Homo-oligomer: A and B are copies of this chain.
Amino acid sequence: MFSGTLQDLTDELASLPGVGPKGASRIAFHVLNAPAEEVERLISALGAVKEKVRLCERCFNVAEQPLCAICQDQRRDQSVICVVEEPKDVLAVERTREYRGLYHVLGGAISPIRGIGPDDLHIRELLIRLGAEPITEVILATDPNIEGEATATYLARALHTLEVPVTRLASGLPVGGDLEYADEVTLSRALEGRRSL
């Protein structure tokens, strides 16, 4: 490339998730032509995230204060905890507008291949919460893949002795999908979990 500086930016952008070399080059040229204020805003937004955003002391969701906005909100149902892998999963559940309880973010899923065991996740903190808070249901909302399922199975066993009801998100056909295109595992789960009408 004719400009080392522009190439440096392209390289940095290409290392972001979901940005390929062509997309990175396109963004780099956009930055070159964009008004200085726009780029300033992006730069300060990047810096602010690294400076201000931390993890909630109680549930490990992202927060800008010791407790996250959800843990601070006294109108939330304090008796239900939804256990997810990552803060972005909290966002996904919140978008449904169906859930009014609390969360607990594990910080990942059990994965022997990546060397992530139960002690690397915030499982101990979940057990402590269950001992201290008046919880009547724990919803396991880890991802419906091998690692998420393994984590849910591990948690179900670990929580068994605490006598708190534990539930798991339903697996089945995605709404708006097409039976024909469903993979066999999803279709098996949909059959398994069939409900009487």
Q: Which residues in A have some Cβ–Cβ distance to B below 8 Å?
A: 1-6, 8-9, 11-13, 15-19, 23, 25-32, 36, 38-39, 41-43, 45-50, 52-53, 61-64, 68-70, 86-88, 90-91, 94
Seed contacts A1-B91, A3-B68, A12-B42; 16 additional CB < 8 Å A-B pairs: A2-B69, A2-B70, A2-B90, A3-B53, A3-B69, A4-B64, A5-B48, A5-B53, A8-B48, A9-B46, A12-B41, A12-B45, A18-B23, A19-B19, A31-B49, A36-B50
User: Per DSSP, are chain A's interface residues mostly helix, strand or loop, or mixed?
Assistant: helix
Residues of B within 8 A of A68 (CB): 2-3
Shortest beta-carbon distance from A104 to chain B in Å: 14
Residues of B within 8 A of A32 (CB): 49-50, 53, 62, 87
Residues of B within 8 A of A12 (CB): 41-42, 45
Residues of B within 8 A of A2 (CB): 61-63, 68-70, 87, 90-91, 94
Q: B5 touching A31 by the CB < 8 A rule?
A: no
Residues of B within 8 A of A19 (CB): 18-19, 23, 27
CA distance A47 to B90 in the complex (A): 33
Closest residue on chain B to residue A23 by CB atoms: B18
Q: A9 touching B48 by the CB < 8 A rule?
A: yes
The CB with the most chain B CB atoms within 10 A, among A42, A49, A63, is that of A49
| Contacts known (A2-B69, A8-B45, A46-B39); A18 close to B26, Cβ less than 8 A | yes
